[in-house]
Amino acid sequence: MRASQFHLFTLKEAPSDAEVVSQKLMLRAGMIRKAAAGIYSYMPMALRSIRKVEAIIREEMNRAGAMELTMPLVQPAELWQETGRWDKMGPELLRLKDRHERDFAMQPTSEEVVTDIARQELKSYRQLPRNFYQIQTKFRDERRPRFGIMRGREFTMKDAYSFDRSEEAAGRSYDAMFAAYTRIFDRLGLQYRAVAADTGAIGGDRSHEFQVIADTGEDAIVYCPDSSYAANIELAEAVSLLPGRAEAKQALEKTPTPGKATCEDVAELLGVPLATTVKSLVLATDDVDDKGAPAGVTVWLLLVRGDHALNEVKAGKLEGLKAGFRFATEVEILEHFGCKPGYLGPIGQKKPVRIVADRTVADMADFICGANEADYHFTGVNWGRDLPEPDLVADIRDVVEGDPSPDGKGVLAIQRGIEVGHVFYLGTKYSKAMNATFLDEDGKPKHFEMGCYGIGVTRILGAAIEQNHDARGIVWPVAIAPFEVVICPVGWGKSEAVRDEAQKLYDTLLAQGVDVILDDRDERPGVMFADWELIGVPHRVTIGDRGLKEGLVEYQGRRDAEAGKLAAGDIAAHILGLLGKA
């Protein structure tokens, strides 16, 4: 490709509403153009990278035996009503009506449509396992689209769905997809981590997220540097940080703590470590009677150590909270505790208030908590002596850096990550809802065991940039760079020698299947360099009269601080070597 024939468009400054690095750089490099909030055009420069990502995904999906199809973007409401998702999903499911006032949804994923296909076309166990995938536009009407293409509304996703005879077979399909994802992200050239993730109502341990490591990531990834343990913070198990409960040494005392409504403030006032305090959080569940009518509110007091944070996903798995919970309102708190938030505590609480202590809190002795009276806390609190044992002891907090690894093999570290892939065992959730069955070997109908497997194609571009950039611009992994090599001739319009040498190198590399662009715009070196460093092409060759007089050209890798000189006759071989195409 010649730059003069390509649509190059770069900006010195990103638009002021751009929030994150990847968005700013993609806008400056002319890769994306905003059409509306969270809705972008992908310009030719970006599309080159997208096509490379898609090709890698497609190759590995096909290698794993999955079969590509495409399902509609606009899907009839009837299918979504069969699974109940039409009602259950919030406004992020974009609903629309056609000219005949029939209801449709824009696909955010396609479980319903693919299950409908399966129940019609997969009749026999002999057709299983089967894995269908598509690389297709998706729409999620995010309340606040942001971060450019990282959390857009319209985006490209690869979604795959496996159908199996049994849970064991589904496990093999899951493992095959896990392995394919590993190959895909390896080939993309990204630093990533596969982490265990929450399985929600499905249960089991078959849910993994593929997270691209980046400081700017929205997700916290917990891992153990000394073992293979890795999990999303939503799931990572937090053990008790105490060897067991110590004996009580202090007397229970009611201490004035005027205006100190946080554990931090109380610890500071009393001159004690934050780890001696206990935080009380009030949740509420809206109860219903046998007939589904409202039957009052149950209040829950959840206790975590002052330096810990409540993990809502873990809380949501507790018996009684599974069906959904909310934080109690200030009015409800006053009504149940006779006290405003900030001074609450478990002492003196009676049923129906339910008290749940985090594992560490249950092991604490002589701790500090609110006295259920404004401006007072209790110190020297001890389970059994000053209050009954908690109703429930459970893991309800986020792990923190330095916690023991749950596999007992060291301590945990935390990184930030961007979720770009997810493999998930679905069980029979959708096949039962839609009565999708096949005839098993015994001649009896059986529900499919399913799995679903997503990769955010366009999000990968954003994640790759968040992970790989510097002050000058993007630093693409070579596998997904819009071009592998750029040739910058200095004095294209003036020097025949430069033109000839540049053209010769261009022809040689093209002939070897290198994705090379020749910058024939006749711009000054500074302009060319700035553009290609912003765009992030991994390899650059500069050819100028001065060097050619000594038979030399310049090579600079995108991560190199300086250019190096090479014999003009060696440069093609050098580049081919770097690209592994020698």
Q: Contacting a copy of itself (CB under 8 A), which of 17, 19, 63, 70? A: 70
Q: How far is the CB of 142 from a copy of itself (least distance, A)?
A: 9
> With CB under 8 A, what is the number of residues at the site for a copy of itself?
53
Q: How far is the CB of 41 from a copy of itself (least distance, A)?
A: 5
CA gap 327, 526 in Å, rounded: 57
Q: What are phi and psi of 154, to 5 degrees?
A: -105, 125
For position 67 contacting a copy of itself by CB under 8 A, the verdict is yes
Q: Is 136 or 349 the residue whose CB approaches a copy of itself more closely?
A: 136
CA gap 370, 345 in Å, rounded: 4
Give bridge partners of residue 299 from the DSSP assignment.
Answer: 284
For position 5 contacting a copy of itself by CB under 8 A, the verdict is yes
Pull the structure tokens for residue 286.
Answer: 């809206």
Q: What are phi and psi of 341, to 5 degrees?
A: -60, 155
**Closest by CA position to 514, among listed 573, 453, 430, 432:** 573
CA gap 497, 64 in Å, rounded: 50
Q: Contacting a copy of itself (CB under 8 A), which of 19, 74, 179, 251? A: 74
Q: Is 67 or 288 the residue whose CB approaches a copy of itself more closely?
A: 67
For position 295 contacting a copy of itself by CB under 8 A, the verdict is no
Q: Is 138 or 314 the residue whose CB approaches a copy of itself more closely?
A: 138
Q: Contacting a copy of itself (CB under 8 A), which of 54, 55, 59, 76? A: 76
CA gap 482, 41 in Å, rounded: 16
Note if the bond before 243 is cis, omega within 30 degrees.
no
Q: How far is the CB of 10 from a copy of itself (least distance, A)?
A: 10
Q: How far is the CB of 93 from a copy of itself (least distance, A)?
A: 10
Q: Is 77 or 275 the residue whose CB approaches a copy of itself more closely?
A: 77
Q: How far is the CB of 96 from a copy of itself (least distance, A)?
A: 4
Pull the structure tokens for residue 279.
Answer: 């935080």
CA gap 391, 59 in Å, rounded: 53
Q: What are phi and psi of 296, to 5 degrees?
A: 80, -175
Q: Is 2 or 546 the residue whose CB approaches a copy of itself more closely?
A: 2
Q: Contacting a copy of itself (CB under 8 A), which of 14, 55, 73, 297? A: 73
Pull the structure tokens for residue 193.
Answer: 């981590």
Exposed, middle or buried: residue 577 (CB in 10 Å: 0-12, 13-18, 19+)? exposed
Pull the structure tokens for residue 149.
Answer: 């293409």
For position 500 contacting a copy of itself by CB under 8 A, the verdict is no
Q: How far is the CB of 438 from a copy of itself (least distance, A)?
A: 13
Q: How far is the CB of 85 from a copy of itself (least distance, A)?
A: 16
Q: Contacting a copy of itself (CB under 8 A), which of 12, 16, 36, 292? A: 36
Q: How far is the CB of 135 from a copy of itself (least distance, A)?
A: 10
For position 105 contacting a copy of itself by CB under 8 A, the verdict is no
For position 141 contacting a copy of itself by CB under 8 A, the verdict is yes
**Closest by CA position to 206, among listed 167, 236, 233, 239:** 167
504 contact partners, CB below 8 Å, separation of at least 6: none
CA distances from 18 to 45, 316, 451 (A): 19, 35, 36
Interface characters, 257-286, with a copy of itself (x: CB under 8 A): ------------------------------
User: Within 10 A of 338 (CB to CB), how many other CB atoms are there?
Assistant: 10
For position 106 contacting a copy of itself by CB under 8 A, the verdict is yes
Q: Contacting a copy of itself (CB under 8 A), which of 29, 30, 423, 467? A: 30
CA 39 centroid distance within chain:
19
CA gap 178, 211 in Å, rounded: 13
Q: How far is the CB of 441 from a copy of itself (least distance, A)?
A: 17
Q: Contacting a copy of itself (CB under 8 A), which of 12, 13, 16, 99? A: 99
Q: Contacting a copy of itself (CB under 8 A), which of 65, 402, 513, 577? A: 65
Q: Contacting a copy of itself (CB under 8 A), which of 14, 55, 89, 94? A: 94
For position 108 contacting a copy of itself by CB under 8 A, the verdict is no
For position 520 contacting a copy of itself by CB under 8 A, the verdict is no
**Closest by CA position to 194, among listed 532, 500, 184, 572:** 184
For position 153 contacting a copy of itself by CB under 8 A, the verdict is yes
Contact 77, 96 (CB under 8 A): no
Pull the structure tokens for residue 449.
Answer: 């065991």
CA gap 503, 515 in Å, rounded: 14
Q: How far is the CB of 207 from a copy of itself (least distance, A)?
A: 26
For position 130 contacting a copy of itself by CB under 8 A, the verdict is yes
Secondary structure (3-state) at 423: strand
Q: Contacting a copy of itself (CB under 8 A), which of 20, 25, 71, 463? A: 71
442 contact partners, CB below 8 Å, separation of at least 6: none
Interaction residues for a copy of itself, span 540-559 (CB under 8 A) = none
Q: Is 32 or 267 the residue whose CB approaches a copy of itself more closely?
A: 32
CA gap 537, 378 in Å, rounded: 63
51 contact partners, CB below 8 Å, separation of at least 6: none
Q: Is 44 or 171 the residue whose CB approaches a copy of itself more closely?
A: 44
CA gap 500, 493 in Å, rounded: 11
Q: Contacting a copy of itself (CB under 8 A), which of 17, 19, 69, 352? A: 69
CA gap 50, 59 in Å, rounded: 14
For position 441 contacting a copy of itself by CB under 8 A, the verdict is no
Q: How far is the CB of 547 from a copy of itself (least distance, A)?
A: 28
Q: Is 104 or 367 the residue whose CB approaches a copy of itself more closely?
A: 104
For position 216 contacting a copy of itself by CB under 8 A, the verdict is no
User: Within 10 A of 274 (CB to CB), how many other CB atoms are there?
Assistant: 17
CA distances from 417 to 215, 313, 536 (A): 7, 18, 22
Enumerate binding residues for a copy of itself (CB under 8 A). Answer: 5-7, 9, 30, 33, 35-36, 39-44, 46-47, 50, 65, 67-76, 79, 91-92, 94, 96-99, 102, 104, 106, 113, 116-117, 120-121, 127, 130, 132, 137, 139, 141, 143, 153-154
